Structure 1
């Protein structure tokens, strides 16, 4: 893909790109382990050098996201149970027709403390909190729109025993609470708007000249980034021209247009790769 075909002059990390690809076209599709050639060709089409692509595959393997197997001189990769769990956790919101609309008028408040012996998990829990829609209200206190199932944040063997360190409440704001002000305290609302506007600007044109597989990978990576940025703030406390609905409609339109051809292109690459065994 040339720079002119790339819908946005914005750097995406190779791992972000691969998560977009794996979630859209690999999870639950029944593919056998995929050869490194396929991953490297996809990343090369997206402007990622071979050395960086190989380093990304190695890093994701070390992190327990990919399982590496050898077939002769060929390295092949499959999703690990951990990666499948992470992608499945994201799937309902990725595919939701209203991913930025909170369910109901309640809020979830969460307070937790991390023991010094488990400081290595702090970044992972923070990433899960952000994905679940939480913003930091003040030190140790997080808030999210809607009713969030706290158990899913601490799910997984690596978090065993940590759920008991969290206290959560479902509540509604008191009448005297300035909710728009609270939103700006817990989230960077202008930055959320800017992320929506950048997504819309990037994908508003059709990009008919690009290859569908790299484009769908880019679309998936950008959509995941937008979902991480916008927790789904209540529309009643946002400006009338809030762009979340426009972003959602555009994503669905582009995904539906690209997915059949992208899947066919991947199938051809897998068939070609299998012939090299």
Structure 2
């Protein structure tokens, strides 16, 4: 890749768990939200091979896999002397919910003028639910305007996002609305309160510096696609797609989306072939 230093920085910063989840996402869903007929079991050797190509050591990979099993993210199955892994149903659902935006042609576009408002106070007794809620809200594009109150641009399907998380009596903790702001609310002020626009621009600039002029070398499609998806996912978790009325005219979101789409088109077909070879 022409920007060798940038790619090396990406390798240093990448979290093995995120790479594993990204690889499982490609194995189960490909580059979309439609799953294969049956979820594949991914052999340990395949994961060691893929992460090793990103300079993640065998020890670090095995430690990551053990932790993910302990945390309920993966299940482990024995095949003779070797092991294979599958996503747990909860993590599979979470990955599926993010696929449409991850591979959308317009991930920063929403219904103009429409916002989703969510109130969801989680008691201390449900601390684990609170953590999972925060993770899902971040991915869905919500920003916090005050304790237990979040807003997101566009129409977010809150029921689909939370139906497996808030069950029983906890289901009634969430109150969600779709609508438009009205006086005395100042949407611009709320945007600046809920999101750090300087940090969002810096996130786009970092993504573009690393990938806009990148030239992936032949034979390195799968690890580079995993790095690209990891960087892209982080950017989407940072920028929910805020209305242009509250952003600078040169806001870089469109360039970032075009860059991701272009590189994914170049890397995707070869990476899919590599995955098929690793799983069979």
> So what's the TM-score if we normalise by structure 1?
0.90
- Paired residue total: 271
Render the CA deviation track for 1:29-56: whole Å, top value 9, x for unaligned.
Answer: 4563111011011111112111111111
Q: Contact conserved, 2:112 with 2:243, CA < 8 A, in 1?
A: no
Residues 260 and 90 from structure 1, CA distance in 2 versus in 1: closer, same or farther, beyond 3 angstroms? same
Residues 77 and 90 from structure 1, CA distance in 2 versus in 1: closer, same or farther, beyond 3 angstroms? same
Map 1:180-195 onto structure 2 (within 5 A). 180-195=188-203
Map 1:135-174 onto structure 2 (within 5 A). 135-156=143-164, 159-174=167-182
Question: Partner residue of 1:274?
Answer: none
Aligned equivalents of 1:100, 1:113: Cα separation in 2:
28
Runs of 5+ in structure 2 lacking a partner?
30-34
Matched, 1:102 2:104: no
Q: Contact conserved, 2:77 with 2:85, CA < 8 A, in 1?
A: yes
Question: Partner residue of 2:266?
Answer: 257
Q: Contact conserved, 2:129 with 2:165, CA < 8 A, in 1?
A: no
Aligned equivalents of 1:182, 1:220: Cα separation in 2:
30
Q: Contact conserved, 1:21 with 1:220, CA < 8 A, in 2?
A: no
Match of 1:168, SS state, is: strand
Runs of 5+ in structure 1 lacking a partner?
272-277
Q: Contact conserved, 2:27 with 2:40, CA < 8 A, in 1?
A: no
Q: Contact conserved, 2:143 with 2:152, CA < 8 A, in 1?
A: yes
Q: How much does 1:117 deviate?
A: 1.8
Q: How much does 1:212 deviate?
A: 0.6
Q: Contact conserved, 1:151 with 1:163, CA < 8 A, in 2?
A: no
Aligned equivalents of 1:159, 1:44: Cα separation in 2:
40
**Alignment root-mean-square deviation, CA:** 2.2
Aligned equivalents of 1:216, 1:5: Cα separation in 2:
17
Aligned equivalents of 1:62, 1:159: Cα separation in 2:
23
Of residues 222, 235, 250, the one that matches 1:213 is 222
